[in-house]
Structure 1
Amino acid sequence: MNSTRDFWTIIFLVSALSVGQVKSQNLLTKLMQKHPERFEQVFAEPEKFQVQVRYTRIDRKRNNDPHFTTFDYGVDPNQYFYPASTVKLAVVALALERLNKLGIDKYTPMLTGADRPSQTVVLADSSSESGLPSVGHYAKKILMVSDNDAFNRLYEFLGQEAINDSLKAKGYSNTRITHRLSIALSAEENRYTNPVTFKMDGKVLWDQPGAYSQKTYWAPEPIYQGKGHLDGEDRVSMEPFDFSQKNYFPIAEQHQLLRALYFPLSVPESQRFQLSDDDYTFLYRYMSQFPVETSFPKTYTDDYYDGFSKFLLFGATKTRLPRHIRLFNKSGGAYGYLLDNAYVADFEKGIEFMVTAVIYCNQNEIIGDGVYEYDSIGLPFLANLGKTIFEYELERKRKMRPDLDRFEVEYDK
């Protein structure tokens, strides 16, 4: 890059090429142009960092009905990225929906069995108030600190086929959720899920046998990323890694999920999750609650700082975060991809907006070696992106101050 002019020319060209039919693309570019010190490192090499951003501005009408204006930067459903823990939010919503259909309370003990050598039994959970596992407690751990084992249990409760077919029916046509997390199982083995029993006071409320997905949800063609990867023996193989059997959750569909959960009446009925008012309050509470505000698990007050999973705006800072600004979010990071999907609300200033973003931080292009620039590039970028949009929201005029009472929930403590 030879000059500031060249830098912004690159940004504009990459932005324009990524737009397609989106007419509102230029706002994000203009906002970043105001702060070259925040974004120059990333956008000097846009192809390397593979940034995708979707931002929705929300304006309220007199009756508090929201009006949405969406702006994209680099959003491309054909540009694969690994979605890491962001897939967990969809599975939590589906699990709550399934409980409603079964007529089972979210805190009913859920006992996980095993009928294959690769599967594990879970009959207790010492981190919960009751000492027993439940969908509700698993969901809390997922939403606050992105617990992988908790996700795996909900994946097993739902089953691979039900997860993917349910999401497709709601309009998530490009999303694939095909495997457990942090467990080295084959793609075939992930088609099998454990038997599950809901039991209260000695009475079985629902007994679900182990399942096998009769369908495959993998990508039809190989998806190669990187220039090398760690093989099964933890040796570097200088061949690209194939992500075709891995999860995928494109930016547009992550953003769609956020809108469906926070503004359900604004999406077609077919795209809504069948959740109760208590379910929505539950989601809003634990997506925004800081670990220190949590009663169970008690260890969260010692092991996790406020910004542990708050990437946009806060960049996972370890300092105490303000309580009047809340990120209702699900973040993630793996294989060099760093993401956040958030509804942001400032209850003092009456500000709200939605942002979904991903950045690739893998300069050596080796997949799976754990050498990623999350701290030096990814988290500062997401923090600066959130800060830049927040500053814009502070300055822009609104006809109506939003009534955010729906999202101002009580926390555990």
Structure 2
Amino acid sequence: MQGFTGFLTSFFSFSVVASVSYGQVQTDGWLQKLAAGNQNSIFQEVIQHPDTYRLQVIYTQIDRDKNNTPSFRNYYFHVDSTEYFNPASTVKLPLALLSLEKLNRMQNPNVTKFTAMQFDSAYSKQTKEWRDETSETGYPSIAHFIKKAFLVSDNDAYSRMYEFVGQGEINRSLHEKGYLDTRITHRFVRMTADENRHTNPVRFIQPDGKLIYAQPAAFNTVPFDFRRVARLGKGYMTGNDSLVHEPFNFTERNKLPLESLQQILQSVLFPESVSPKQRFSLTNDDYRFLYQYLSQYPGETNYPKYDAKQYYDSYVKFFFMDSLHHQMPEGVRVFNKVGWAYGFLTDVSYVVDFTNKVEYMLTATVYVNSDGILNDDKYDFDSIGRPFMYQLGQTIYQYELKRKRKYVPNLSAFKLSYETQKKDGRPTIKDVDN
């Protein structure tokens, strides 16, 4: 692994990660007691009915020793690795890491995350993408896809990274790293299972259009294990707005258990805290790039230039997304990835408060679909889901502000320089497909 050698390795040379028992519900009484202290009615409604809301929470305390080396302790609330939840856009996190890893494995000095690339079409439903006017160069690139996927959770960016890495390599790589119960089977566009097994030809080009490297179309021949059936709800709407009176079948959809999601983010932020096989082969520059765009706000970014009013600071920061105030607390940055679809809201976060010298991880998923109908766009995101996630986030954040630490953490590794959006006359981007 090429990690934060020199600059960060001394910080991450030791950790204690709580062992996980798969296949059984895990709830720590201490976390349950902490949650009981928040009497917000929406929060308590979800906390007291975790089965109804398919709630799972992992709260990770981080403590440093005298050498600033972090150790980790996980607390669980209703966590069950076998209970399906739809990961939605959280799968964009491993896709970004696998895309960077694949570039590094190519060992072509002319092909980097910033190199212009183009996508052709070679199979049913595939689409071309030769230009991207939201980027500074006017071309797509892995770096630009990662920005869009992290800043506003752009769907096309995910689909293109899926096409670059390939379905077979995505799943093989995650399983080799020990994330065994994961699967990523599809783009975020309407395609059949067969069409998702086929991925586009891709080429990297110089600014003048000259070819650097061409990757042929690919087809994944490896079968998936779909023996564990996952069906939810009492009905669903079809593409032509017909109601089917039977549960929606998620059996062949993307799957990313909460514990795996938490470990993937931890492997990026604290690579030395996980086993070597769980890490992604990233360079120092990759880490810094990821840290920036996991925590930068859309309104700070120049390319793409997002509308800061629509894509406000806490837009993809569920644990700090207050319906009344969209600004983050002074001195706080959240390094995270969220997802929302089919009534599920999920967030995997590392929270840093530079002012109060606080750090912790919080990962949660909740299902809010009171009518039991999938695909009808009538979910309880605004009335229950987001208010719950905000209350959960504030419960942990307020506790962390008061939690005693033997050693004050040195958080300088995560203190980054962010962009300032230029007022250059370019129109801002609104209404992204996410």
C-alpha distance in structure 1 between counterparts of 2:396 and 2:309, whole Å: 32
Q: 1:83–1:339: 8 Å Cα contact kept in structure 2?
A: yes
Structure 2 unaligned residues grouped into runs of 5+ = 1-20, 421-434
Partner of 1:102: 106
Partner of 1:28: 31
- Structure 1, residues 76-126: CA drift from partner, whole Å, max 9, x if none? 011111010001000001101111112321110011111123111001000
Letter paired with 1:36:
Q
Q: How does 1:318-337 map to 2 (within 5 A)?
A: 319-337=326-344
Cα 1:404–1:89 change in 2 (3 A) is same
Q: 2:358–2:409: 8 Å Cα contact kept in structure 1?
A: yes
Q: 1:230–1:368: 8 Å Cα contact kept in structure 2?
A: yes
C-alpha distance in structure 2 between counterparts of 1:19 and 1:281, whole Å: 33
Q: 1:338–1:360: 8 Å Cα contact kept in structure 2?
A: yes
Letter paired with 2:293:
Y
Q: How does 1:68-217 map to 2 (within 5 A)?
A: 68-103=72-107, 104-181=111-188, 183-201=189-207, 202-217=209-224
Deviation, 1:318, is: 5.2
Deviation, 1:371, is: 0.6
**2:414 matched to 1:411?**
no
**2:47 matched to 1:43?**
yes
Deviation, 1:205, is: 2.6
Partner of 2:302: 295
**2:282 matched to 1:275?**
yes
Of residues 304, 312, 315, the one that matches 1:305 is 312
Cα 1:358–1:285 change in 2 (3 A) is same
- Structure 1, residues 110-161: CA drift from partner, whole Å, max 9, x if none? 1111112311100100000111110000100001100000100000000000
Of residues 28, 53, 60, the one that matches 2:57 is 53
Q: 2:117–2:202: 8 Å Cα contact kept in structure 1?
A: yes
Cα 1:299–1:258 change in 2 (3 A) is closer
Letter paired with 2:62:
I
Cα 1:198–1:234 change in 2 (3 A) is same
Relative to structure 2, which stretch is displaced further, 252-261 or 306-315?
Answer: 306-315
Cα 1:302–1:122 change in 2 (3 A) is farther
Cα 1:204–1:218 change in 2 (3 A) is farther
Q: 1:52–1:251: 8 Å Cα contact kept in structure 2?
A: yes
Select the structure that is richer in helix: 1
Partner of 2:400: 393
- Structure 1, residues 221-261: CA drift from partner, whole Å, max 9, x if none? 43111010112322111101110110010000001101100
C-alpha distance in structure 2 between counterparts of 1:35 and 1:303, whole Å: 30
- TM-score normalised by structure 2 residue count: 0.88
Q: 1:176–1:218: 8 Å Cα contact kept in structure 2?
A: no
RMSD: 1.8
Letter paired with 2:161:
L
Relative to structure 2, which stretch is displaced further, 254-263 or 98-107?
Answer: 98-107
- Structure 1, residues 249-278: CA drift from partner, whole Å, max 9, x if none? 000000110110010011111111111111
- TM-score normalised by structure 1 residue count: 0.92
Structure 1 unaligned residues grouped into runs of 5+ = 1-17
Relative to structure 2, which stretch is displaced further, 199-208 or 390-399?
Answer: 199-208
C-alpha distance in structure 2 between counterparts of 1:235 and 1:285, whole Å: 44
